[in-house]
Amino acid sequence: MATDRKLRMGMVGGGKGAFIGAVHRMAATLDGQIELVCGAFSSTSEKSKASGESLYLPPDKAYGDFEEMITKEKALPEGERMDFVSVVTPNFMHFPPTKMALEHGFPVICDKPVTFNMEQAKELKQIIDKTGLTFALTHNYTGYPMVKQARDMVKSGKLGKIRKIVVEYPQGWLAASLENQGSKQASWRVDSTKAGISNCIADIGTHAENMAEYITGLKIIEMCADLTTFGEGRTLDDDGNILLRFDNGAKGILSASQIAAGEENDFNIRVYGEKGGLRWYQMEPNSLIVRWLDQPTQIYRTGGSYNGERATTNSRIPAGHPEGYIEAFANVYRNFAYTLRARMQGKEPDAQYLDFPTIDDGIRGMAFIINAVASSKSDEKWHKFTV
């Protein structure tokens, strides 16, 4: 079992028109380890069936809602039923299907931020800890090979003790009020009943926080946030600038924006140690720029023979053939799949494939949102990062 077949994925959300659902499907299936076998794709049974049809699923595999999906799939024999659930709904709908899936014994891979609020996140952690089920969170950007190379270089001490971290995620797509122009993507993100207490920080600030901690292994301990709502009529933040302090004494800046007019997704990070510094830009993800005090700048490249193990195993094609967003996203799914398959076979997962974001990342992400919002509202300069 699970040795001679692809892993079977059921999806919650990701109906027609949902950008991120299609990305999850491409990412999940890219490496031939996973196939989509069923889904509860939309809020209505009719729409879900239409989505299922366009995905060439049998009509009875497009369920009306996630409860139906989980219940009916659970009733099938192993190998016929889905092996795990992928949750790709808006934030407020992460928790219910994830919880139910886990409680029915299904591993889950879930979009970020992990839940609508911290209580839910902590409850999930309890369930995961209790059940021992595999859970992954799609902080997809950490799937890029050069991000893994950056992490390796910091970890190995090549840069020396880290002193400064600058992480930015500027977007410009909400500079105009798309939520009033029929954009589904915009509408739920600026709606506090669906997105939670934050828009920008929750949606992309969490990626920045996760990236900074992932690459450096450091933890934020204090922050001073200035969140802003620029778009007329909005209630949630669409921009945020945050000073950071890390647990080793390093200082940092985190900036996220949806109103940086003209920017696409210029997510980037710079990390400076005592001996050198590195830079990585999501829009040119296959280069890692490393600068030294007294040596020429180096450019590490995806696929380079000189890269470490993690960068190498998370790359598919020869250097110079660009791997992009979908491939990085697929690395999260692939590592999740390898780990899940090993566990289904009763084996210890290979350590290198355990390199995917977990519920702990999810909880830190929720804490980041909560602390950022609190700090921004507060007059105290330094807000302790509490979880």
Residues 6 or more apart in contact with residue 19 via CB below 8 angstroms: 185
Contact between 291 and 158 (Cβ < 8 Å): no
- Which H or E run contains 252? strand 251-257
Residues 6 or more apart in contact with residue 127 via CB below 8 angstroms: 99, 102, 103, 133
Rg (CA), the chain: 21
Distance CA 324, CA 134 (A): 26
Count of C-beta atoms within a 10 Å radius of residue 113: 29
The least distance separating a copy of itself from the CB of residue 238, rounded to whole angstroms, comes to 10
The least distance separating a copy of itself from the CB of residue 79, rounded to whole angstroms, comes to 12
The least distance separating a copy of itself from the CB of residue 99, rounded to whole angstroms, comes to 28
Letter for the amino acid at 384? K
The least distance separating a copy of itself from the CB of residue 214, rounded to whole angstroms, comes to 19
Contact between 45 and 72 (Cβ < 8 Å): no
Distance CA 97, CA 109 (A): 11
Per the structure block, which two tokens stand in for 60?
Answer: 């009875």
The least distance separating a copy of itself from the CB of residue 127, rounded to whole angstroms, comes to 30
The least distance separating a copy of itself from the CB of residue 149, rounded to whole angstroms, comes to 10
- Quick one: 96 or 170, whose CB is closer to a copy of itself? 170
Per the structure block, which two tokens stand in for 322?
Answer: 């660009």
The least distance separating a copy of itself from the CB of residue 367, rounded to whole angstroms, comes to 20
For residue 211, the SS3 value is: helix
- Quick one: 309 or 382, whose CB is closer to a copy of itself? 382
- Quick one: 30 or 387, whose CB is closer to a copy of itself? 30
Distance CA 356, CA 328 (A): 11
The least distance separating a copy of itself from the CB of residue 74, rounded to whole angstroms, comes to 23
Distance CA 386, CA 295 (A): 40
- Quick one: 3 or 386, whose CB is closer to a copy of itself? 3
The least distance separating a copy of itself from the CB of residue 120, rounded to whole angstroms, comes to 28
Separation in Å, CA 8 to CA 43, 233, 270, 383: 22, 43, 39, 44
Per the structure block, which two tokens stand in for 261?
Answer: 């007019």
The least distance separating a copy of itself from the CB of residue 25, rounded to whole angstroms, comes to 6
Q: Where are the alpha helices (DSSP H) in 30-94?
A: 45-54, 66-74
- Quick one: 136 or 260, whose CB is closer to a copy of itself? 260
- Quick one: 175 or 387, whose CB is closer to a copy of itself? 175
- Quick one: 176 or 342, whose CB is closer to a copy of itself? 176
- Quick one: 231 or 357, whose CB is closer to a copy of itself? 231
Output DSSP code: residue 296.
-
Contact between 235 and 242 (Cβ < 8 Å): no
- CA 96 to the chain's CA centroid: 19
- Quick one: 72 or 251, whose CB is closer to a copy of itself? 251
- Quick one: 43 or 265, whose CB is closer to a copy of itself? 265
CA dihedral 302, 303, 304, 306 (to 10 degrees): 100
Contact between 225 and 372 (Cβ < 8 Å): yes
Contact between 263 and 171 (Cβ < 8 Å): yes
